[in-house]
């Protein structure tokens, strides 16, 4: 008797349609708190151009920036880093799927 095994799709191996950059969460947080990019840049010491690139999804964050975000917004640095990791993973899955088609 032949047994056919099916790989069950879980949240970890699903391929999303779009990759969500942490910029969306950051932008929402700033807006919800009534903070402009200029104000946030001055308060945190993050270069305004760099902050703008992060918010536009053109720049990723590192450990240092995640700690600054944690201190400024009260959202754990690990959360910001996980968002970054998820974005990169999702983008890679999407690119691989598109190449296979």
N residues, the chain: 101
pTM, 2 dp: 0.79
* Residue whose C-alpha is closest to residue 95's, from 15, 30, 10: 15
Q: What digits encode the pLDDT tens for the residues 46-79?
A: 999 999 999 999 999 999 999 999 999 999 999 9
User: Which domains, ranges and CATH numbers included, belong to the chain?
Assistant: 23-100 (1.10.260.40)
Strand stretches in the chain, DSSP E: none
d(CA 87, CA 72): 22
Reported as type and span, the H/E element at residue 81 is helix 77-100
Q: What digits encode the pLDDT tens for the residues 8-46?
A: 556 566 676 788 899 999 999 999 999 999 999 999 999
Reported as type and span, the H/E element at residue 50 is helix 48-55
Alpha carbon of residue 27 to chain centroid: 11
């Amino acid at each position: 008797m032949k047994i056919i095994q099916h790989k069950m799709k879980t949240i970890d191996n699903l391929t999303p349609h779009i990759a969500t950059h942490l910029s969306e969460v950051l932008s929402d947080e700033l807006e919800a708190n009534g903070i402009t990019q200029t104000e946030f840049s001055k308060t945190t010491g993050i270069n305004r151009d760099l902050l703008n690139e992060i918010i536009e999804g053109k720049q990723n964050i590192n450990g240092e920036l995640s700690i600054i975000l944690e201190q400024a917004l009260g959202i754990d640095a690990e959360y910001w880093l996980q968002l970054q990791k998820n974005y990169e993973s999702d983008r890679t899955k999407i690119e691989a799927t598109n190449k296979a088609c």
